[in-house]
Structure 1
Amino acid sequence: MSGSYLLGVDAGQTTVKAVVHDSAMAPIAWGRRSSPVSRPAPGFAERTQAQLWSAAAGAIAEAVGRAGRLGIAPERIRAVGVSGHGDGLHLVDAAGAAVGPAITAMDTRARAEAAELAGDGPRARTILDRSGQRHPAGGAGPLLRWLTRHDPGLLERAATMLFCKDVIRLRLTGEVGTDLSDATATFLDTHTARWSTQVLEAFGLADLERLLPPLAESAAPGGAVTAAAAAATGLAEGTPVVVGLHDVQANSIGMGALVPGRLALVAGSFSTNGVTTTQVHVDPRWQSRVSITADLRIAMSTSATAAPALDWLLGLLGVDGDAERDALFAGAAALEAAEEVPLLLPYLVGAPFDGPGTGTIAGLRGSHTRAHVLRGLLEGIALMHRLHAGALAERFDWAEPVLLGGGLSRSPLYTQLVADVMNAPVQAVSTAEAGAFGAAALAGVGGGHFDSIEAVQELVPAAEPVPPRAALRGYWEHVIGRFDELTRDLEPWWEGTTR
């Protein structure tokens, strides 16, 4: 593949990134565009599909343009891969034109529909057993139920339901379809990796089977860049595009974690904790999701207890700009390792396992500074990894070191805290844009530039593993005990405040 390049596109909830990689998967040129979310009514979180494509096309054009200024012609970009945020709902008509908005996974308009399904024991059990997960309000199933009640005319105009990355591939190639890793968030049978009429029926959506798109594995051929897309992006017409994948799967590749027996922890918009496996074990505390091939899976336990909690605290403390943030982190790192800090439960957006918990601060003292409060929150976020991984450990095994990614992984303090909490060596992965790396790697495998997805993951850069501090084991046993006790004792109070 010498002299050839691969493009990875990663469409998140609010930003689209595009990165050109060389034959050793080193990033060469970047592009980034904001993809703003509109909230036209309570619970809504959407954009137009045109806005999504405009952000993607702009990011790609920027990356291709920068590569061009380095002497890399568009024709030397041999393949394109696209990843995107999961869940949400994107409907198109028979001609591929948008029907309604691009609904994101942050949308909660279907909260009542999701709760209704969760409260119906037999149907909830069928959905969990066959699809491998409970479905959030921002999932396609609850959203489709909401549309049947509130906008059935829109459903009548729709021919196919897609996911975020599928809309981008459709605009690039004119091809309609999805892959297993996104489909597994809806009506896919996690045991067979095929669409399930049983799951559709449990959702009460049997008459919408016509909306299910063609399925393919993620690295399968997904069309070629059209003339119109080439004009919008700067890519060469005819450039191959693979089917693409869900962003969690792409990030796992970018962390070197999409190999059976590896545990990856991500502290980003969500605390995402996933073990790659070939086994199917179903439990309401995690999502059993089919990955880029039918035999590969990620068991993933998540909660919105990372960046949202940190952003809230920094805003509350009046932290303004990177320099002040860095100084505050340095102050937290300078505290004695076993110094008493407040215990913060970071449930600002929601609690793990659909629990009733809300954000909680315990153990505050007049002597505590902003640095004490920040370290207390970082410990609380790290404890979420332990909570989620503890559930997974009941069924799955993994090798060490544990892999750590997400924005917080760039903090040496946070990496050390996670190693201490997990009582295991932790290796922070330094891939700048792990999702775009994963998408480009997939394109390389699909185009025959790499022998396997396992082989390309050997190119992922990672720091030396950070071991847990044995001298602090007693401190952490105390903190973990306080966390468990506080959670248990507050549950009746939380139940009373969330009715």
Structure 2
Amino acid sequence: MPAPGPRHLLGVDVGQTAVKAVVHDESLRPVGVGRRSSPVDREVPRFAERSQDALWAAAAGAISEAVTASGVDPASIAAVGITGHGDGLHLVSADGTPVGPAITAMDSRAHVEAAQLAADEERMRVVLGRSGQEPTPGAAGNLLRWLLEHDPERIARADAMLFCKDVIRLRLTGVIATDYSDATASFLDTATAEWSGEIVEAYGLPDSLMRLLPPLHPSGDVVGAVLPEAAAATGLTVGTPVVAGLHDVQAAAIGMGALEPGRLAIVAGSFSTNGVTTTRDDVDPRWQSRLSITPELRIAMSTSATASPALNWVLRMLGAHDDAARDLLFAEAAALDPEEQVPLVLPFLVDSPLGADSSAALAGVRGWHTPAHVLRGALEGIALMHVWHTRALGERFDWEQPVVLGGGIARAPLYVQLVANALRSPVVVVQNEEAGAFGAAAVAGAAVGVFESVSAAQELVERSSPVLPTEESAAYWAGVIRSFDEATAALTPWWRARAAVSSEAGR
């Protein structure tokens, strides 16, 4: 009997701005990569939504490109794992037909509903205590409240509420479901790992909306198989197993070798994501206690959209519109004296963990400052958010060294050194550029026996040598952190007053 051929695994990562598909070999090395832009419509202020059909077309195109680029027999792909951004709202009918556009986590149309909930201490006590997090405007519960007020017919036509990765798995398999890691973002009771009518009620929603909540699975459950229509669109083989999948922070943690209790992973991507893996159930408004690939495991993660949105805005304002200009500006910033004072940048362009009233600021600018000084100030501002988030987590959790860093900005050595200096911790950088797809593939591989466990798969992660904080930067960063704390404290009443004036003007 001939020996079985090599097996492969497909990981799909559906992000806020791009869909990435990666075919991996049995050592989780990429052998074929596909990428498509993830469509987002921002024409209406505060809206960030997209066609579910367009999202599927992007995912199918990325998968087809990855399979073709790999050159492998599609029949050798043993399983498919999918990850995607959390929160947001994706409504479908019983047969999987989209009901309106997908709403992404960056959408803030429900900011009034979120503020009302946050101001109600009794309701927030239930939501935070039971679901493990204080919801953002882009959370499903707040978005459903908005739709009930502004588009109730859309909810009436829907039969299920899904998350981003669930929409892609639905198109592949026809199965409506979600996993614990995404469900935690809405109405899941983290103590029982079951949907909770009490949480639904605390959001101010009618009990009848419980009908929208899909079946729950651990991330590694095989919930379906590739259908003929999906196979034709993607190049996959009909019947290929597809697992439930997982939230992108959980997948990235696996792809960084950090989904083990006591490990801290930070990512500088669309969001500043800072998560420590734990089995503890501590909750706090400053972080989300999310169930992971199984209900027994959690990530306590503190996040904000204060990384690449802020960097990209600064680069545009500085005229760095292409890779060459960007590289030159980074080189000039890296050449500055590391302890030279640069402008303080508060990177609250689209989000802030300090509250919805907070906005970005540039302070301490002098006439001799160049674009390089401003860029380094922006990078320091993004690093300061890692400080803010990990400082909150550090009040309850301990983690081992070194800290693991990933995300697009981590490709810049200057940023890696700034993070090490800011956190006063050794930092290692993940060498795999697609950590989310790696994590999704690892879960799929463990589900079908390619790996003994997800933990075993994580041993395959490649990381850089540790980057150490410099001794001479300690006093400098103590001053930068102090300036950040003083500036945000001083600006808080101004932010509130300005928001009140804007609210009055909008009436």
Q: Do the aligned partners of residues 39 and 475 (structure 1) sit closer, same or farther apart at CA in structure 2, a change above 3 Å counting? A: closer
**How many angstroms apart in 1 are the aligned matches of 2:369 and 2:157?**
59
**How many angstroms apart in 1 are the aligned matches of 2:492 and 2:87?**
29
Q: Name the counterpart of 2:434.
A: 433
Superposed, 1:71-90 pairs within 5 Å as 72-90=72-90
AA at the equivalent of 1:456: A
User: Residue 5 of structure 2 contacts residue 76 of structure 2 at CA under 8 Å; is this kept in 1?
Assistant: no
**How many angstroms apart in 2 are the aligned matches of 1:340 and 1:31?**
42
Structure 1 outlier segments of 4+, above 6 Å: none
1:37 aligns with 2:40: yes
Moved more, 227-236 or 339-348: 339-348
Deviations 1:117-168 (A, max 9, x none): 1122211111111111111111110111112222222222211111111111
- Displacement of 1:408 in angstroms is 1.0
- Displacement of 1:252 in angstroms is 1.0
Q: Name the counterpart of 2:55.
A: 52
AA at the equivalent of 1:231: A
User: Residue 268 of structure 2 contacts residue 410 of structure 2 at CA under 8 Å; is this kept in 1?
Assistant: yes
Superposed, 1:131-142 pairs within 5 Å as 131-142=131-142
| DSSP 3-state at the match of 1:336 | coil
Superposed, 1:220-235 pairs within 5 Å as 220-235=221-236
User: Residue 21 of structure 1 contacts residue 440 of structure 1 at CA under 8 Å; is this kept in 2?
Assistant: yes
Aligned with 1:18 (options 14, 17, 21): 21
- Displacement of 1:98 in angstroms is 1.5
Moved more, 1-10 or 424-433: 1-10
1:98 aligns with 2:101: no
AA at the equivalent of 1:49: Q
Deviations 1:90-126 (A, max 9, x none): 1111222212211111222222221221122211111
User: Residue 85 of structure 1 contacts residue 247 of structure 1 at CA under 8 Å; is this kept in 2?
Assistant: yes
**How many angstroms apart in 2 are the aligned matches of 1:107 and 1:485?**
30
Deviations 1:313-367 (A, max 9, x none): 1111111211111111111111111112111111122322426332122221111
**How many angstroms apart in 2 are the aligned matches of 1:301 and 1:237?**
40
Q: Name the counterpart of 2:297.
A: 296
Superposed, 1:354-369 pairs within 5 Å as 354=355, 356-369=357-370
Q: Name the counterpart of 2:504.
A: none
| DSSP 3-state at the match of 1:100 | coil
**How many angstroms apart in 1 are the aligned matches of 2:55 and 2:409?**
27
User: Residue 445 of structure 1 contacts residue 451 of structure 1 at CA under 8 Å; is this kept in 2?
Assistant: yes
| DSSP 3-state at the match of 1:465 | coil
Q: Name the counterpart of 1:28.
A: 31
| Number of corresponding residues | 496
Q: Name the counterpart of 2:478.
A: 477
Moved more, 465-474 or 353-362: 353-362
Deviations 1:207-238 (A, max 9, x none): 11111100000000121111111111110111
**How many angstroms apart in 1 are the aligned matches of 2:431 and 2:162?**
32
Aligned with 1:5 (options 1, 4, 8): 8
**How many angstroms apart in 2 are the aligned matches of 1:44 and 1:380?**
26
User: Residue 50 of structure 2 contacts residue 103 of structure 2 at CA under 8 Å; is this kept in 1?
Assistant: yes
Q: Name the counterpart of 2:161.
A: 161
Superposed, 1:253-402 pairs within 5 Å as 253-354=254-355, 356-402=357-403
- Aligned-pair RMSD on alpha carbons? 1.3
AA at the equivalent of 2:14: A
Structure-2-length-normalised TM-score: 0.96
| DSSP 3-state at the match of 1:295 | coil
Q: Do the aligned partners of residues 429 and 309 (structure 1) sit closer, same or farther apart at CA in structure 2, a change above 3 Å counting? A: same
**How many angstroms apart in 1 are the aligned matches of 2:358 and 2:229?**
50
AA at the equivalent of 1:190: T
**How many angstroms apart in 2 are the aligned matches of 1:188 and 1:354?**
24
Moved more, 117-126 or 402-411: 117-126
Moved more, 411-420 or 31-40: 31-40
User: Residue 225 of structure 2 contacts residue 242 of structure 2 at CA under 8 Å; is this kept in 1?
Assistant: yes
User: Residue 277 of structure 2 contacts residue 300 of structure 2 at CA under 8 Å; is this kept in 1?
Assistant: yes
| DSSP 3-state at the match of 2:99 | strand
| DSSP 3-state at the match of 1:354 | coil
AA at the equivalent of 1:285: R
- Displacement of 1:491 in angstroms is 2.1
Q: Name the counterpart of 1:109.
A: 109
Q: Name the counterpart of 2:505.
A: none
Deviations 1:13-54 (A, max 9, x none): 121110000011000001111121123533222112111111
User: Residue 284 of structure 1 contacts residue 353 of structure 1 at CA under 8 Å; is this kept in 2?
Assistant: no
Q: Which runs of 5+ in 1 are unaligned?
A: none
Q: Name the counterpart of 1:62.
A: 65
| DSSP 3-state at the match of 1:168 | helix
User: Residue 16 of structure 2 contacts residue 270 of structure 2 at CA under 8 Å; is this kept in 1?
Assistant: no
Moved more, 479-488 or 453-462: 479-488
Q: Name the counterpart of 1:173.
A: 173
**How many angstroms apart in 1 are the aligned matches of 2:454 and 2:254?**
8
**How many angstroms apart in 1 are the aligned matches of 2:488 and 2:154?**
44
User: Residue 285 of structure 1 contacts residue 353 of structure 1 at CA under 8 Å; is this kept in 2?
Assistant: no
Q: Name the counterpart of 2:503.
A: none
| DSSP 3-state at the match of 1:374 | helix
